[in-house]
Every structure is written in structure tokens, then in C-alpha cells.
Chain A
């Protein structure tokens, strides 16, 4: 019969053996998962030093490890190595790609329109030279959008990629021409646009032959006006000229009585109903436009898109005509959105609504600009430069897999710890 002490010694041997076996299996797994002999593989975070090393002593082949797609600098370097004779491969954990686009919005002051595309559910942090601007999770559409003014280039940091982007073009926005009768609507529409930074030309009729003018008297054409806002049905506008302006890319917003202007009806064959009252008390609610009297706008032209509805009836309709855009808004007396609500942000809401409506049709002129470092779509650019990636884990079965390496390491450590503890407890160091 074995003594108790010898049993304990045996157990210690067993534990030591288990640890050795676990470490051996771990080493074999890691070795088998590694690259083919002669292939230099490097993790993404060690790519910088590896590139220096590969440049000094070029290996036969090299693989950039799985992780976010290489940056533009790394990509160019890897491409140079390939051209020098090294076989370059790269790995990626997903093939969806992520991309970021930043462009100026045709609004005064040119805030930027930022759009990010990635897999639904991707967490992304939008940042710029100063740090975080915003963060969020990509929705089911696979896209996110911001309007912001980043300082320097913007980057969208996610686990999949870190695209960097800045606008490729500057925009020049010409003045907006507002036509209407002297009244609150004209006054407050012009105020909203000017306060938001638009340059406005205006013609407000006070009496026959008495018009309050602002800005130079110029023809309605795309060389001098980016958009026309028509607020009444009487302002003297030649329909063919307005039609040609829109066809050439100019924008047109017809609102309230302006929807019945003959020139507008010549461009958009919309059926505009008579005015119906707004919902009582809605001006003070969360959707104040519900409180405005409005006309229903049913566009007869194909391609018209209802932008806002009152119930089932479209009240704001957008349409592309030729190279231009037209918005027909049935709302009457939108100045009430600014004056009537008790909420403090009513003026800024009114301003933003009118400004965005005009911006949605205004014709911007593109001016190429010098851009610094950008890397808008790292995945696509790397595929373009280095070919398609080896998909890390593509040969493995689908579904969740156990972390065998971690388990084996834990097993080895536990065996060694138990063996050491047993020895210490029985008095042997």
C-alpha cells in the first residue's frame, strides 16, 4: 500500500505532466496556425517596425496580420515592397469594408456633411484633430450621417477600419433670390436665411410700382442666383426664364401662395388644393408645422417625392427637374413657426428649416481644393493595391468557437500552480 506522502508526490508528477502536455499542445497549435515556412508575419500593431525590417532585409514573402485594413502609409510601403520582389499578403477579419466621406454642405459657412458606411451594428467614434466629435452605432441601413464642422480631417474609428477624410472640393454658393409681397412671410423668410448666413437678393412688392429691393437687379440665371424662393402668386417672373434656370441646375422653392404662381405651375404640374387650417394648438407642440394652415400638393410630374405629409396628403414635395431641384411647400404663414411658439428654440428651428429647404435645392459651384492626408476607404484601397485579403478564420467552422489557446494556457498554469502549492504545503521548496 502506498503511503499518503507518495500519493501526493505522484499527484504532483501528474500535475506537472499535465502542464507540460498542455504547453506542448499549445506550442504545436500556435506553430501550426502560423505562417508557412519562410513567410514573415506581423501583427497590425507591429507593422511599423516590421516594415523597416523588411525594407532592410526583404523576406521572400510577408503577411500583414488580421485587424483593421492597413493605413494609406502602410499600404504604400507594402506596395513598394511587392514591387521590390517580396510577395505581400494581408489578412482581414471582414470583407465588408468601411468608408468615410466628408464634403461641404451647400449652406452658408459650409458646415460639413459626413457620411460613414460600415456593417450594421459597428460602433464608431467620429473624431477630428481635437478628439471626439460624436459616436454611435451604425444602424440597419449600414450608414450614418452627421452635419458637423470638424477641425482638420475627420476620422471614423471602429474595430474594422479607421478611414480618414476631408472635403475634396470647396463650394461657392451664390445668392438666393426671394420674391414676394411685403408681409410677414417675406420678412421672416429673408430674416431666417440671412441670419443663417445666406446672401439674399429680394424683391418685395409694397404697391404697384413700389418694390423694396435688395441686391443687384439681375436676371434669374445660374451665374448669379443659386436658388429662387417664391412666396406669392403675383410677383413678376417669366415662366420660361424660371424654367430654364431650373433646367440648368438652379433651385426653386415655392411656398404658400407661391405654389400657385403660374411660373411654378409651368414647371411642376402640381395640383395644389385650397388652404386647410392647421391643427389647433399644434404650434406649441413638438411638431409645430402641424399648426400651420397648408395646401395639399399633388405633383402631376413623374419623379416627385413627397417630403412631408399632413395625414396622408403630401404638403411638401421635392422633385428634380433637369439639372435642378424644386421644392413645393404648401405651408402658409410659416413665420408663425418663429413668432408663435412659446419654446425658446422656435426662431432657430424656423431658421434651420428654411435654410435647409433652400440648401436642398441651391446650386453650388464646386471648386477643387488642396487636400491633405485622406484615406476614405482603407479596405477598398488596400484591395485595389494588394489584392483581396486572406480572410482570417475563413477555414474554420462557422459559429462560436472555444478559445482553445487560452484554455490550454490556463490548464498549464493551474497544473503548475497546484504542483507548486502542494510542494510548499508539504514543506519542500
Chain B
């Protein structure tokens, strides 16, 4: 290869490098313009796709051509290329131009031929292309991530500066959200938001950059307006505000953020207490916290005195402490029972309350659990029936009815083999055990009936009603007589309240039956007739089991005793009712299905009129707010925003649809038969 051919080859390479560099820089410039246009388009919510492409192509052409012109200069002539080679290959000792132009000595050609300048050419090509290629890759990467970055930038920009513009036909507005003063939060300015989340009590002032006259009306919800025509006070309910100015309008929904009531935890006392003596001091302790700040906290107590219908109440507060807006706080105090002047039977209810910084004291109050301190009545602590507690453990010395039956059956089997005296002794022993058990049953019955002063005629409310006759309580003997009457009645027979028998007896009837059968069995056993004792013993066991199967309640007070003879009084009333018609209930899941149908219409509208679809979606969202999850509400807001800004609303719509509960796959026996679910 001659020297000239080598130079021409190098010229081709350099030309290609210049073209490549110009192309790469041109494309990089175009991509950079696309990145900027994309970000601006997303942030402003405008389309601008065609403009972006035009700008990018122009930038590419201008940059590429400028670069090529710069590199080419007057042209890639052989002398210029030779000079460039001499410059980058010092070993040529500036002999190349001479060699190329010809006329030089043969040694010159040989010395030039001995020098290889291709490495220098490659190095130069690498240098010329490396940074532009890296730049190209960077711009491409930026373009790829701009879609993800832009919403974040948009949000930041929207929160602080608020620059996005609405789509054509929608009003361009700015919302200044001023939280209530007590919240001590910053004012936020939002530009063209679809949804505003603001603390209850915030003031939302709407302005237009064009200083147009603004009018507000509520499409949903009824929030009180504040003084100006373009401002709104955020209430407890969400509201859809229609902002109007001339013919243009925009729908903005406001989600109220409620201020939670303080959370108060009573540390001391830890449990309810019954005291024998109304003296001493209780240590009180409580912790409180609030989402925005506590104003104050204290302990509240109510003292209740009296009985029946005559009660008096006194209340007060102790341990009050102001917090001035801290998020958490603790209070402590001492409750002196002596100072309260308590009497036996009195109750003291204690709880801690805290208020937050709101002026609305009713909803600003949080309260702890309540502890009850009760002063026992005289003699009450001697009774086993004062507190809700498990029944006392059974007396292990007493044989069970089943064991007595077993012993009696064994005695009957052994009877042919034992003498009369042994039979009499063993039968008498079982009879005495049976008597002890009967005594136990009678104790239970009398503890429930015997010392009760009121019986079935007790009014319970401590006062006598006109026209209602009071009768003396039954004595235990009378009760037993009633029990006899009850137990001789046929099983399942209707009890007669109008005789001596009482509802009290009826409730205890199984035990009274057992009592009587035990009596009978004991008598037979005492007479050394165990085989005759067995039938009543079986019936006593059956009655005990029925009593055990009955609902057992371990109540602080006496259980209700009256049993109504339903069949006897059935339809005996003098009056006849004439019920009014029933009105249907509102659907629950049916409402969700109706929401889905509305949602389908929104989607159907999205292609033809995205702004109207966005409005419909926001109204649907506000109707469902509270019934849907926060994520679903956010998805709907994002979808509405995307519709307004001409972006892909599909993901938001799909997320909202999924939150509404669209797809169920069920296969059970009913569905296999009917194909319904």
C-alpha cells in the first residue's frame, strides 16, 4: 500500500468518525429536548407530544449539522489529513506532506512507510466518540426514567409553587389551604388539584391566576361557607366543590382529615375494687397522647349514693394538668376516700380525661376506661353472693347422688348374701349420706329463696306502684309446701301462678324435685329397703342433672325469677294490634354493585370526554369515601388526575375497580347446581 493510499484510508476513517460524532451529538441533543418536554408536559398536565417531537428533531439537526461543519472545516483534503496525521504521529518528522505531494527522495518514502499511524488514528477516534456516546446513553436513560420522576417532581412543584395548568376547558385555579390555628401547620398552596386533603376546620380559599371572579357550590356534601365567596370551611363530611368562573368550571373534592380525640390510658388503679371501709387514699395515674397536641388532662370521679329509686350523685375533678400542645403527657393524683364522705353501698367511678387543642370540647375529649370503687354494705362481706365469682368448691365429704346410687345398687346385689343387721346398718349409712346430700340441696334452694324478703312480688325498683298489691314473703315452710305442689305436678304440666305455687318455685323446681325424691329415698333407706329407695334416687339424679343443664349464672345480684306461663296467657290480651307496612332496607352489597355500574359508565366516558369522566369518578369516589380503603380512594384520585392531564388512567382505574371488588371465583355445591356463585 502506497503512502497516498494509506492517507486516503485515514481520510475515510476520519470522515466516518466526524459523521458519527455529529450524529451522536445530534441525537443526544434531541433526546435531551425530549426529556425536558416530557417533564414539562407531565407537570403541566398538557399533551404537547407533537411540539416535543418537532423541537427534538430540530435540536438534533441543528446540533448534528453544526458539529459536522465544525469538524469538517474547509474540507477533508489530503494535505489537511496529512497534516493532521503528522500532528498525531511525531515519528513521521513532518515528512508525510512532502511524501504525499511527491518529489521527495526515496528514503523519505521509506521512512514514511516505516511509520504506522493507525494506532494514533484509533486513539483519536475513540476520544472523539467516547463522550458523545456516553452522553447519548445518559440522555436515553433520562428519557426512560422521566415518566417515573415527573409525578414526584410534579407533586413537589404542585405543593410549593403550583405550576401545572388544567386541560383545555377546565378552570385554572389555585387553592390556598389554611389549617386551623391550633394545629400549628403550614399553609399549603395547590394548583389545579383533583383532591385536597385538609384538616377539619381548615379554610380553603380558591383563586384564579387570571384574577377571574370565582364562585363555589357543593356538588356533594353540605359544608358551611366562610365569609368570602371563594372560600370554604372544611367540615366533617367530604365535599365536592364546583369552582366556577364565567363558563369555565372545575371540580375539586375535599377529603376532611379529622383530628382524633386524645387517647387516654388509666394506669392506676388497675382494677375495680370493693372496700369494707370508706377510708384511705387511692393513687391515680394516667397517660395521654394526641395526634396534634394535648391541651389538658385530669381525673374525673362520680360518687353515687343511695339505693332503690333514691340516688344522689356528686362529681369532681382532680389532678388537672395543662400541656399546651405536647403530643404526649402523663398525670398523677391521689383520691382520698375519706374526703369524699363515702357511706356503705356507695360507688365511686374514676376515669382520666384529656382534651386536645380544639375549641370544640365535645369531640376534643378523650377518656380512659373507668374504674369502680364500691364500699360494701354492712354485713355484705359475710355473704358468698356479693361478687361475681365461680361457685365455691364442692364439699368433698359429701357423696354424690350417683355414688349413693352405686352403693345402693351394690347393696341390693349383695342382699341375698348378707344378714339383716348388716343390711340395716349399711342401708342406714347410705340413708344418712342421702340426708346430708339432701341438706346440701336444701341449702342451695334456701340460699336462693329462703331469706328473700320479696319473693315474686318484689318490685325491684324500690317503690310501690299504685294498684299493685304487696303480699308478705313466703316462709321456708310455705316454700316447701309449694315445692311439694310443684313436684307432684305431672312433668310438662302448666304451672299455676294463681295458687300457692310461685314462679320462684318453678325456677327451682328441679332442685326441689331432687330434694323431695332424696327425702323419699332416705326414708326407704332408713327402713332398710334399698331396692325401694332406688327409683326415687334415680329420679333425684335426673332432677339434679336437669338443674345442672339449666342456664347457670353467677351474677353479682339475684337472677330474674319470674317465669311466664306463655300458653296460658297466649292471645288473652284485650287489644288487637294492626301493624303498619314494612319499608324495605337500603342495599349494602347491592350499593357496591351499583357503584360498579357507575364506575363502568365512567370508564365508558373516559375516551370521549376525559374531563367529564374525571368529574364523575371524583363524585363516585366521594360517595364511596368511608366505605372504601384509603388505597382505593387514592387510586381513584390518581385516575381522575391522570384523566385530566391526558395521561394513562388505566392503572388507577384498574386499582379502583379492584378495590370495589370485581372478581370472585367461587365453586361450591350450590354454584355447581345453579351456576350462580
Once bound together, how far apart are the Cα atoms of A203 and B654, in whole Å? 43
The residue in chain A whose Cβ has the minimal distance to the Cβ of B667 is A145
B468 at the interface (CB under 8 A from A): no
B663 interface hit (Cβ, 8 Å): yes
Taking a contact as CB atoms closer than 8 A, the residue among A109, A195, A308 that contacts B596 in the complex is: A109
- Name the B residues within 8 Å of A416 (CB-CB): none
Distance A111 CA – B657 CA, assembled complex (angstroms): 14
Are B675 and A113 within 8 A (Cβ)? yes
Minimal Cβ-Cβ distance residue in B for A130: B654
User: A318 near B664 (CB under 8 angstroms)?
Assistant: no
B656 and chain A: residue at smallest CB distance: A130
**Interface 9-mer from B58-66, B136-144, B571-579, B612-620:** B571-579
Q: Which A residues are in CB contact (< 8 Å) with B600?
A: 149, 151-152
Q: Is the CB–CB distance between B665 and A113 below 8 Å? A: no
- Decide yes or no: A197 and B662 within 8 Å by CB, A130-B653, A147-B677, A208-B571 being known contacts: no
Q: How far, in Å, is B106 (CB) from chain A's closest CB?
A: 29
Distance in Å: Cβ of B551 to nearest Cβ of chain A = 16
The smallest C-beta distance from B73 to any residue of chain A, in angstroms, reads 32
Most chain-A CB neighbours within 10 Å: which of B576, B591, B670? B670
Chain B, Cβ-Cβ closest to A144:
B665
Within the complex, which residue of A134, A202, A214, A356 is in contact with B665, where a contact is CB–CB below 8 Å?
A134
Q: Which of B236-244, B266-274, B582-590 contacts A (4 or more CB under 8 A)?
A: B582-590
A136 at the binding interface (Cβ < 8 Å): yes
Q: Which chain B residues numbered 644 to 677 have a C-beta less than 8 Å away from chain A?
A: 650, 653-654, 657, 662-667, 669-671, 673-677
Considering only residues 195-254 of chain A, those with a C-beta below 8 Å from chain B are 195-200, 202, 204, 206-214
Q: How far is the CA of A149 from the CA of B669 in the complex (A)?
A: 22
Q: How far is the CA of A229 from the CA of B62 in the complex (A)?
A: 81
Residues A151 and B599 in contact in the complex (CB < 8 Å), given A195-B588, A214-B583: yes
Chain B residues, CB < 8 A from A318: 670, 673-674
Q: A134-B665, A307-B670 are in contact. Are A210 and B676 (CB under 8 A)?
A: no
Contacts of B594 in A (CB 8 A): 109, 197
> Is B603 interfacial (CB 8 A cutoff)?
yes
Is A108 touching B596 in the complex (CB atoms < 8 A)? no
Q: How far is the CA of A395 from the CA of B664 in the complex (A)?
A: 43
Once bound together, how far apart are the Cα atoms of A351 and B578, in whole Å?
30
Residues of the A chain whose Cβ atoms lie less than 8 Å from the Cβ of B593: 108-111, 149, 197
| B145 interface residue (CB < 8 Å to A) | no
**How far apart sit A308 and B653, CA to CA, in the bound complex (Å)?**
39
Instruction: Look across to chain A and name the residue whose beta carbon is closest to the beta carbon of B588.
Output: A195
- When distances are taken between beta carbons in the complex, the residues of chain B under 8 Å from A308 are 669-670
A108 to B593, CA, bound (A): 8
Q: If the complex has contacts A113-B675, A130-B650, A195-B588, are A149 and B582 also in contact, measured as CB distance less than 8 A?
A: no
B48 within 8 A of A: no
Q: Say whether B664 contacts A108, CB under 8 Å.
A: no
Question: Across the interface, do A360 and B571 meet the contact criterion of CB distance under 8 Å?
Answer: no
Complex Cα distance, B594 from A352, in Å, reads 16
Residue of B nearest to A358 (CB): B676
Contact at B674–A200, with CB atoms within 8 Å? no
Task: Say if the beta carbon of B581 comes within 8 Å of chain A.
Answer: yes
A356 touches B576 (CB 8 A): no
Question: Is A356 touching B584 in the complex (CB atoms < 8 A)?
Answer: no
Chain B nearest CB: distance from A174 CB in Å? 15
Cβ A202 vs Cβ B577 within 8 A: no
* Chain A: minimal CB distance from B573 (Å): 9
Chain B residues closer than 8 Å to A115, beta-carbon distance: 675
Most buried by B among A111, A150, A305, A318: A111
> Which of B590, B653, B666, B669 contacts A109 (CB under 8 A)?
B590
Q: How far is the CA of A39 from the CA of B589 in the complex (A)?
A: 58
In the bound assembly, the distance between CA atoms of A111 and B599 in angstroms comes to 13
A373: interface (CB < 8 Å): no
Residue contact B603 to A133, C-beta cutoff 8 Å: no
- Inter-chain CA distance A145–B585, complex, in Å, is 31
In the assembled complex, how far is the CB of residue B615 from the closest CB belonging to chain A, in whole angstroms?
A: 18
Chain B residues with CB below 8 A from A209, complex form: 576
Given A210-B576, A210-B577, A356-B676: A149 and B583 within 8 A (CB)?
Answer: no
Q: How far is the CA of A359 from the CA of B584 in the complex (A)?
A: 19
CB < 8 Å: which of B578, B590, B603 contacts A129? B603
B604: CB under 8 A from chain A?
yes
Once bound together, how far apart are the Cα atoms of A129 and B650, in whole Å?
Answer: 9
Task: Kindly state whether residue B388 has any CB partner on chain A within 8 Å.
Answer: no
Contact B590 A195 (CB under 8 A): yes
Query: A353 to B599, alpha carbons, bound, how many Å?
Result: 26
List chain B residues, Cβ under 8 A from A151.
599-600, 603-604, 657
Whether A138 sits at the interface, judged by CB under 8 Å, is no
Contact of B663 among A133, A190, A194, A196 (CB under 8 A): A133
Question: Does B597 count as interface, using CB distance less than 8 angstroms?
Answer: yes
Closest chain-B Cβ to A304's Cβ sits at a distance in Å of: 11
Q: Are A352 and B650 in contact (CB under 8 A)?
A: no
30 sample A-B contacts, Cβ–Cβ < 8 Å, listed by A number: A109-B594, A130-B653, A130-B654, A131-B654, A133-B662, A133-B663, A134-B665, A144-B665, A146-B663, A147-B664, A147-B677, A149-B597, A149-B662, A151-B599, A152-B600, A152-B604, A194-B585, A195-B588, A197-B589, A197-B594, A207-B571, A210-B576, A212-B579, A212-B580, A307-B669, A318-B674, A352-B589, A355-B589, A356-B670, A360-B674
Q: A108-B593, A151-B603, A352-B677 are in contact. List 17 more A-B contacts (CB 8 A).
A: A105-B677, A108-B590, A109-B592, A111-B593, A130-B603, A145-B671, A150-B662, A151-B600, A194-B586, A195-B589, A196-B589, A197-B589, A202-B582, A212-B579, A316-B670, A352-B589, A356-B676
Binding site for B on A (CB under 8 A): 105-111, 113, 115, 126, 129-134, 136, 144-152, 190-191, 194-200, 202, 204, 206-214, 305, 307-308, 316, 318, 325, 348, 351-352, 355-357, 359-361
The 10 closest A-B pairs by CB, nearest first: A197-B590, A109-B593, A360-B674, A195-B588, A214-B582, A194-B585, A148-B663, A197-B587, A130-B654, A356-B677
